[in-house]
Chains A and B, each alone.
Chain A
Amino acid sequence: MADQLINQLLWPIIFILCITVPLIIAVAMFVYWERKVIGWMHVRMGPNKIGPFGLLQAFADVVKLLIKEVILPTKANRALYYLAPLLALIPALAAWAVVPFSSKMVLSNANAGVLYLLAMTSMGVYGIILAGWASNSRYALLGAMRSAAQVISYELAMGLCLVCVLVLAGSLNLTDIVNAQAGHKGLFDWFWLPLLPVFVIYFISGVAETNRAPFDVAEGESEIVAGFHVEYSGSAFAIFFLAEYANMILVSFLAAILFMGGWLSPFPDTWGFIGQGGFIWLFIKAFLFAFMFLWFRATFPRYRYDQIMRLGWKVFIPIAIVWVLVAGCMKYYGLVTIGTGV
């Protein structure tokens, strides 16, 4: 009885903590890295006062946010106002359950992993809408409308990109998808090559879906102050912040897993030590994608709202639909080697 209890409850909880706690610390360090990188790109120093090289800045910010008061606006809907940050955070963390870090390291090797990811990411939008509605503020409501419309639109393009990957890999299981990209040619075996347009669309949609620059009209400081979380302060705001950055890291990991071979090495497997796969490769790839989020933010001006919608509906979705057919043909005529190709 006690044995089974430990097996069924205690170990999963420990594994979950092994993913979420490093994730939260990674978010803190990512925020620091973002400020540092954007500072360098602006020829500034970035945070450099707290701790060596300013490394403790993010933790100081967390402490500051946690000890601040959470203010409830007048006539706000109390229950939903407090529920909204949690509804944003829970799907962002829950999605990590199916992310494989290496061939053996995965919390839940679910058969329908990709579907589960889609389900979780599509639920994050409730936190945004409810935050906008419950805070009884026009700016917040406008930001929520923009954000939700954008998330739903780009989710379609993202889903079609995933369909291309599924067609080639023939599985919904993320571990199987990575294994399908294994081969002797290293990085030329990965799906980014046959699915190049879709790979680009996927990552841009990921940027749009997390409401990051240049698609951050949902925040639009010059128009609607800060969007859906304008009324939030203290720890409630910190939770929105955490959810947004956790989602960015998730999109980076997924781009690495779905198109860039996950934990596989970019070098041919005959190259000995560096030709072997390992979770370090996944982290390097995900870091590069996460870095691109920051690079975009420091580089591009904000898109206009109607152009965001046009890009999603009239450019990305048609290309992705066509590429589903192309991927089907590639698979049917055996133009892409799936797996190690033996």
Chain B
Amino acid sequence: MNPQLFQLICFYAFGFVTVTAALSVITLRNTVHAVLALVLTFFSAACLWMLLDAEFLALALIVVYVGAVMVLFLFVVMMLDIDQEKMREGFVKFLPVGLIVAAAMLVEMLGLIGVRAMHMQVMGADPAAAAGTSNTAWLGHALYTQYLLPFEVAALILTVGVVAAVALTLRQRADARYESASQQVKVNPRDRVRLVKMAAERPVDESPVPPQESKS
């Protein structure tokens, strides 16, 4: 089996899994199953990227999306008590809107792909391989030299997002009672417990009564 053929088979296998999983995300009735299908979609997409030698992106996709984002999704979905029947009620009503949105997105994507296809070749040469380094090293170098400003702007936007999310949800209820862990940690055991030294046994002062001889 030559490597190219093997790679092709892998590509089609991963691609098939990706598309099937993506379809089942929107068709499965059980929401937890749908979230798991989304996890599978991400995972097989990461496998596809791995085939392109984009190892950093592939593993970052797994670490960030599969490992963190989807776990939170799963939490939320597991906690929700969703009425399946109610969810399906609006299907016919919203179908035209959904179709219009889907068609618009399809046209936009086709247009984008078409415009780009006119300007560049489908797959350029791998810049990491051209530079003779690994994908991760090349990506890090590019991010911190060529694209430093966009990178820092993106970091700033993400930080603002984090701060905003915390500020929106952080509410102190006046009547809530909570314990301050840092105060608890600082507690000195000597303030709480008094150790008293005392003899283990108290000496008995009176001498035991001598057993009386029974007169028999």
Contact = CB atoms under 8 A, between A and B. Distances in A.
Interface of A: 1, 4-5, 8, 77, 80, 110-112, 115-116, 118-119, 122-123, 125-126, 129-130, 133, 141, 145, 148, 152, 155, 172, 306-307, 310
B71 A115 contact: no
B60 interface: yes
22 contacts: A77-B32, A111-B134, A112-B55, A112-B56, A115-B55, A115-B59, A115-B136, A118-B59, A119-B59, A119-B62, A119-B66, A119-B67, A122-B67, A130-B36, A133-B32, A148-B71, A148-B75, A155-B68, A172-B134, A306-B179, A307-B181, A310-B181
Contacts of B67: 118-119, 122-123, 125, 152, 155
B71 A129 contact: yes
B1 A125 contact: no
Interface size class of B (residues with CB under 8 A): 20 to 34
A155 B63 CA distance: 10
Interface in B56-87: 56, 59-60, 62-63, 66-68, 71, 74-75, 78
5 shortest interchain CB distances as A-B pairs: A122-B67, A119-B62, A115-B59, A111-B134, A112-B55
B39 interface: yes
B128 to A, nearest CB: 10
A76 to B, nearest CB: 13
B59 A111 contact: no
B135 interface: yes
A4 B67 CA distance: 35
Nearest to B2: A4
A112 B68 contact: no
A310 B137 CA distance: 35
Interface of B: 1-2, 6, 32-33, 36, 39, 55-56, 59-60, 62-63, 66-68, 71, 74-75, 78, 134-137, 179, 181-182, 185
Contacts of A125: 67, 71
Contacts of B185: 307
Contacts of A77: 32
Which of B2, B33, B75 is packed against the most chain A CB atoms within 10 Å? B75
Contacts of A122: 62-63, 66-68
Q: Interface on chain B toward A: helix, strand, loop, or mixed SS?
A: helix
Contact of A111 (B55, B60, B62, B71): B55
A262 B104 CA distance: 56
A130 B32 CA distance: 9
Contact of B63 (A1, A118, A141, A307): A118
Contacts of B39: 126
Contacts of B137: 111
Contacts of A129: 71, 74-75, 78
Given A123-B66, A133-B32, A116 B59 contact: yes
A1 B56 CA distance: 32
Which of B33, B59, B136, B179 is packed against the most chain A CB atoms within 10 Å? B59
B68 A152 contact: yes
A152 B74 CA distance: 13
A122 B33 CA distance: 19
B78 A8 contact: no
Given A4-B1, A80-B32, A152-B68, A115 B75 contact: no
B60 A115 contact: yes
B56 A145 contact: no
Contacts of A119: 59, 62-63, 66-67
A112 B134 contact: yes
B55 A306 contact: no
Contacts of B32: 77, 80, 133
Contacts of A8: 1, 6
Contacts of A116: 59
A115 B68 contact: no
A273 B66 CA distance: 46
Nearest to B184: A307
Given A80-B32, A123-B67, A130-B36, 13 more contacts: A1-B1, A4-B2, A80-B36, A110-B55, A111-B55, A111-B135, A111-B136, A111-B137, A115-B60, A116-B59, A118-B59, A119-B63, A125-B71
